[in-house]
Amino acid sequence: MGSKIRKIVVLDTTLRDGEQSPGASMNIKEKMEVARQLARLGVDVMEAGFPVSSPGDFEAVKAVADMNLGPVVAGLARAKDIDIETAGKAVGKKGRIHTFIATSPIHMEKKLRMAPPDVIKAAVHAVKYARTFTKDVEFSCEDAGRTDWGFMVEIVAAVIEAGATTINIPDTVGYCTPWEFAEQIRYLKENCPNIDKAIISVHCHNDLGMSVANSLAAIRAGAGQVECTINGLGERAGNASLEEIVMNLKVRRDFYQADTNIKTKEIFKTSRLVSQVTGIRVQPNKAIVGMNAFAHEAGIHQDGVIKERATYEIMTSESVGWKGESMVMGKHSGRNAFNKRMEALGYKLDKQELERAFDRFKRLCDKKKVVYDEDLAAIVDDEIFSGNMLWELDYQNTNSGTETIPTATVRLKKGKEMFLDSGTGDGPVDAAFKAIERIVGQPFNLNEYALEAVTGGKDALGSVRVRVTSGGKTAVGRGASTDVITASIKAYLSAINNILLQKEIKAKKNGV
């Protein structure tokens, strides 16, 4: 390989494909906050959503595009006029339309029910139509990993001729191995006559645990753009992890002869922000951003690290922005210090949001001796990012014991009105949920309930995450409090409000 270091374009799809992880949905406010941090991280392109999928997704993509943060904002669109038009309106002339159609035999036959020539015709039309909205058009051969290579070359040549500027070769189902995926990229480079007019991109899924390896193999073979997500979030087993790809290129720059524009010291902060807003925790042994990634327990390792860190560390924790401990704040911390700490954690709050969060912080200080970064992140998620609240908790009281039927009394606020009711259940949390359902006037199905301590200690802030369904709608809710019952109620109300708002939007759309 030559000595020239190639710059790889990083397309982050956390806001689109990452959000498709079960339970990882984000509201507009959360998407905007993550988008700000992705811009600080230095991604080149951020795929903000699938605009035609829902009015909420359209508004979120448009809101991110209107922020003008620096990175190109992309919107996903099937090879359909309505999708492309909606994406074009969302991202604007400076944005990117990412259109796709399936190209593997099984997808064309079983899903599309289209012959290969018709698929090419549809792809060419989609790209040409997308070009009427923006000059930046990306085309994806969905399920490229199982696509006939000759057909891949044929359709890619046609869409480049039609105006596609980026060609994405996705391993949509995580089927490929690094060796064959690299060969596929080389085959495309060597056999597509106009491939030099477009950037080759790759988008790998992790079904067989090969997403990062496949992405890196493709880069070695000549791919110029890599599509990935923070913490490897995504459909099924997830996507290629941005932090793993970036640090592989950084640490082994000599081998890959490639690098990115990513500011690596922002990696850890970005990882924690995404984990907080999605409610999906990072596994301790996760490469780069896991809490054990830079921990050494074995005596031999500890001895080596004490003498020379490079004996067992191929990169430093500081290089990815991990300092190994949280900043401690307490009741004597002022508003300015609080705001500075929030900014350092990646949150940009307006004046009203700052006041709400600071007030919650002060109230938490009365219950805890020290407040950690994780507590602050939970406060913002609970207080600022909870979305529109039709129903809010005003008061709760529960009673339970080994010889007592668990009961709960809950008072909810809706606008200026107050509603009070009680319920019994298998435990205090279940009883509180039953009381809420009596007030709201409809049942909900609790499909998932998870409780964890945000930090250590007896006074730890409890974080609750729930998944709720009703009438074909699903929503995830999160809540935090030093009282786990209160945290549970907040999480349940967050999910219920989300579902009720979805139903309200649908009713308005249908003119009901």
DSSP codes joined into one string, 201-269:
EEEEB-TTS-HHHHHHHHHHTT--EEEEBGGG--STT-B-BHHHHHHHHHHTHHHH-EE----GGGHHH
Residue 217 lies in a domain: yes
Domain edge (last residue) among 383, 413, 442: 383
Q: Do 18 and 41 belong together in one domain?
A: yes
Q: Which structural domain, as residue segments, surrounds residue 71?
A: 6-278
pLDDT of residue 293: 78
List the CATH number of the domain containing 501: 3.30.160.270
Q: Do 425 and 442 belong together in one domain?
A: yes
Q: Name the residue with tokens 């990696």.
A: 267
Domain edge (last residue) among 242, 259, 278: 278
Whole-angstrom Cα distance, residue 346 to residue 277? 12
Give the DSSP letter of residue 329: B
Q: Which two tokens stand for residue 361?
A: 């912080």
475 contacts 25 by C-beta, under 8 angstroms = yes
Q: Which two tokens stand for residue 257?
A: 């002869």
Cα dihedral 46, 50, 55, 56 in deg (nearest 10): -50
Cα dihedral sign, 133-25-388-267: negative
Beta strands 417-424; 404-414: pairing state? antiparallel
pLDDT of residue 154: 98
pLDDT of residue 297: 44
Half-sphere exposure of 191 (CA within 13 A, CB side): 14
Q: Do 205 and 267 belong together in one domain?
A: yes
Whole-angstrom Cα distance, residue 133 to residue 128? 10
Please give the model's pTM, rounded to 2 decimal places.
0.81
Q: Do 144 and 203 belong together in one domain?
A: yes
Q: Do 403 and 498 belong together in one domain?
A: yes
pLDDT of residue 305: 41
pLDDT of residue 357: 86
Q: Do 74 and 97 belong together in one domain?
A: yes
Residue 12 lies in a domain: yes
Q: Do 355 and 500 belong together in one domain?
A: no
Which neighbouring-strand residues pair with 45?
11, 72
For each successive 10 residues of the chain (512 residues), what is the average pLDDT? 83 92 77 94 97 92 97 98 98 98 96 96 98 98 97 98 98 97 98 98 98 98 98 94 98 96 95 86 90 60 49 78 66 81 79 86 78 77 68 92 92 93 94 95 91 72 86 82 89 88 64 52
Of residues 489, 488, 480, the one with CA closest to residue 453:
480
pLDDT of residue 108: 95
Residue 283 lies in a domain: no
Residue 315 lies in a domain: no
Q: Count of CB atoms within 10 A of residue 336's CB?
A: 8
Which neighbouring-strand residues pair with 24?
none
pLDDT of residue 338: 84
Residue 316 lies in a domain: no
Q: Name the residue with tokens 């490469």.
A: 287
Sequence-separated (6 or more) residues with CB below 8 Å from residue 157: 192, 193, 194, 195
pLDDT of residue 23: 63
Sequence-separated (6 or more) residues with CB below 8 Å from residue 404: none
List the CATH number of the domain containing 230: 3.20.20.70
Beta strands 199-204; 72-78: pairing state? unpaired
CA angle 34–35–38, rounded 5-degree value: 85
Q: Do 236 and 99 belong together in one domain?
A: yes
Whole-angstrom Cα distance, residue 50 to residue 265? 29
Q: Do 259 and 407 belong together in one domain?
A: no
31 contacts 49 by C-beta, under 8 angstroms = yes
Label residue 408 exposed, middle or buried (CB < 10 Å: 0-12, 13-18, 19+): buried
Residue 297 lies in a domain: no
Residue 296 lies in a domain: no
Q: Count of CB atoms within 10 A of residue 12's CB?
A: 30
142 contacts 167 by C-beta, under 8 angstroms = no
Amino acid at the residue 165: T
pLDDT of residue 436: 95
DSSP string, 133-187: T-SEEEEEEETGGGS-HHHHHHHHHHHHHHT-SEEEEEETTS---HHHHHHHHHH
* Number of domains forming the structure of the chain: 3
Q: Do 264 and 360 belong together in one domain?
A: no
Amino acid at the residue 232: G
Whole-angstrom Cα distance, residue 276 to residue 380? 9
Residue 323 lies in a domain: no
Q: Do 247 and 170 belong together in one domain?
A: yes
Q: Do 454 and 405 belong together in one domain?
A: yes
